[in-house]
Amino acid sequence: MPTVKFKNLYLLSQVEKRALHVPLRSQKLLIQGANGFGKSVIMKSLYETLGATPNKIDDRWKKANVSSCLEFEFAGAIWFSVKAHGVLSLFDDKGNRQFWGLRLVKDWGPKLAEFFGFKLEMVDKDGETLTPPPAYLFAPFYIDQDGSWDNTWVSFRQDFYLPESARTLADYHSGIRPDGYYAAKAELTKEKIVLSSLETAVDTLRQAMTQIEEIEGTTPIYDLQEFASECDDLVAESESLLVLQARHRRTISDLHEESHLVRAEVALLRNTLNEMRGEFDLASSLPHQVECPTCGYEYQNSLTERFALIEDEGVLSKALTEAKYKLGRLTEKELAERGKLDEISASLTRVQKILETEKQSLSLNDVLVATGKTEAAKLLRVSLNEKIVAAEGSRNKTELLRASMSKFTERTRTTEIMKFYRSRLSMYSQELDVHLDAPEKQSIVSINVARGSEGPRALLAYYYAFLYTKIKFTTSIRFPVVIDSPNQQGQDKVHLPQMLKFIFDHVPDDVQTIVATEDASGLKFEGVAIATYGEAKRQILRENEFDRVKNIFDPFFQKILAAE
């Protein structure tokens, strides 16, 4: 099975001039620290850097405008996911930008899903089929302190907005409805659209055939008044189209002018940013005391002034990203308007050709009409037969896809999965000193959680029972298990060590585990690395790491800002 392993996490705030490097190479890692010292910030940043939205983000953290970079190993290669300047980007180990996105659902999500082989397809409230946000991929692997210890499938509550998310997540990740089911479902959705189009074409052609057959063999009678009325209608349609054409041309002109202004703004911001970087490099190369060549007075080349340049660079970088995004949207709108204008032009051409034909003498039409009706009927019959055959083929394909979906949801398979899951849940509950009512009837979507300290332990039993079920019955990708603050609801001196020991002892062999807790002093776990972060309360980032971490980000920043 494909497996992801985290290597390093880098956090950078150019506003605060602070940064942090978190090594993650240990297979089992315990991050400890008192409340308010930032350990949860590290945990939330891991999957946030890959595009999942944490449940809660501190206001101070938002104001710090922190960029994050997650180095990870996947498919025998090293990759870097970077969240900076309002976009998410994936780089290879040579610094090449593989893909990027501003929007989780429209841009980043589908590209990341393809990269990791994530085939889940869902339907939104408007009936549109789409690839869900990245949080749906990471859901079984992240236990968040702001919700996951109270209920299941809420680790990224904001991202789980699609209908029946909890049921879909449980079915997909447990293997009850695996990749094959959703791949067939996606194909079925597309084929239904094709079939609907073919069936509509068949109905239309049959109606046309009926109308042809009803008048075939009769002598046409022409009404000059009707002829004049028809011409008047065509002239009116032509005038209406000309008005629409003029309106769309004005819109295109306005959009083109606005795009020109924004393009100039992008160029100005980019040049200003380059000049500012030059000033910073110059300031960095000069001594602390600089003598004025005119007056001879010595001026301080202070760190404060150089940091001000960096802060201005951050503001300009953000403005540049926003301007480029605005330019992209304007370009899209202009292309859409040009498409509408082309449609109107095509309609005008059609009307004008009809008018030219109508202006010909009736005698020519009289000569051709009888033969034309016969030929038209022949052509319609040929087209109708082709559409009927195509519709039948499409109908057979939809039935095969439905059968394929049914194969993945056979009762015997579902029963086997549920039996395994409930067996694990019962076993883990006993190990964690949890009493479950009727474990043989427990749902795979959620469990009935007891009140008090027993509740978090019951949820931990559920998460691990589900994790092992996923590993046994699916071949999908495995991510590191990230567990934030298991000490919930006042776990005592017996149960907290019991939970921590359970977490590290029962994690699957090839799955990396990262846990954050308040205090692990006095506890010994075999093969577990322990790290402590946070120099002061509500201050996880460090001044002395700023320059080193910024050097790591700089090549990524250059590629992000240089992209058109």
Taken in order 29, 35, 37, 40, the sign of the CA dihedral is positive
Rounded distance between C-alpha atoms, residue 298 and residue 291, angstroms? 4
Side chain identity at residue 27, one-letter code: Q
Higher pLDDT, 375 or 63: 63
Is pLDDT at 190 greater than 60 in this prediction?
A: yes
pLDDT tens, residue by residue, 71-95 = 999 999 999 999 998 899 999 999 9
pLDDT tens, residue by residue, 323-371 = 788 888 888 888 888 888 888 787 778 767 766 655 544 444 544 555 5
- What percent of the chain is modeled with pLDDT above 70? 81
The CATH architecture assigned to 5-177+415-562 reads: 3-Layer(aba) Sandwich (3.40)
Which pair of tokens denotes residue 361? 């003498």
Instruction: Please answer whether residues 64 and 529 qualify as being in contact, where contact means their C-beta atoms are separated by less than 8 angstroms.
Output: no
Residue 381, pLDDT score:
75
Q: What is the DSSP letter of 131?
A: P
pLDDT tens, residue by residue, 159-188 = 999 988 999 999 999 999 877 787 787 788
Highest mean pLDDT among 251-255, 431-435, 534-538: 431-435
Residue 456: count of CB within 10 angstroms of its CB: 27
Q: What is the mean pLDDT of the chain?
A: 82
Cβ-based neighbours of 513, under 8 Å, separated by 6 or more: 27, 28, 29, 480, 481, 483, 503, 504, 507
Is pLDDT at 308 greater than 60 in this prediction?
A: no
Residue of 142, 352, 162, 428 lying closest to 152 (CA atoms): 142
Q: What is the CATH number of domain 202-380?
A: 1.10.287.510
Is pLDDT at 312 greater than 70 in this prediction?
A: no
pLDDT tens, residue by residue, 120-136 = 988 888 778 889 999 99
Domain ranges of the chain: 5-177+415-562, 202-380
Instruction: Please answer whether residues 162 and 124 qualify as being in contact, where contact means their C-beta atoms are separated by less than 8 angstroms.
Output: yes
Residue 361, pLDDT score:
45
Mean pLDDT, residues 209-236: 57
Taken in order 119, 122, 128, 130, the sign of the CA dihedral is negative
